[in-house]
Amino acid sequence: MITSIVLIKTDVDRIPEIAEKIAALEGVSEVYSVTGAHDLIAMVRVARHDDLADVIPGRISKVPGVASTETHIAFRTYSSHDLEAAFAIGLDS
C-alpha cells in the first residue's frame, strides 16, 4: 500500500463542500481541514504508484475550488501502536 499526504489549497469559502467531494473519491481515505498555509490535507492510499496519478492530478486537482496541491509520498509508517507491538514481542501478559 502506498500512502501519500496531499496538501491542498482551496477556495476558503467552500472548504467543507470541497473536503466532502475529495473524501468521496476512490483512493482517498481521510480529509482534514487544517490551519496554516494549506486548507485541507488528504490521505491517499493506493496499491501502485501509477494509481497516484489517477487520484491526485486526475481527480483531486479537478475538484472545483481546488487551487493547488502538494504531494508527499510516505516511505514508512510509525505509530505508537506499531512500536508497542514491536517491544511486546515475546513478553507474557
Domain-wise residue ranges, the chain: 2-87
Q: Are 22 and 32 in contact (CB under 8 A)?
A: no
- Identify the pLDDT of residue 78: 81
Sheet holding 2-10, edge to edge: 28-33, 40-46, 2-10, 66-73
Cell numbers standing for residue 62: 479537478
- Identify the pLDDT of residue 80: 67
**Looking at domain 2-87, which CATH architecture does it have?**
2-Layer Sandwich (3.30)
Question: CA nearest 29: which of 10, 45, 48, 8?
Answer: 45
The string of pLDDT tens digits covering residues 37-91 is 999 999 999 999 999 999 999 999 999 999 999 999 999 888 766 555 555 555 5
Sequence-ordered list of residues with C-beta below 8 angstroms from that of 38, at least 6 positions apart, any chain: 7, 8, 9, 70
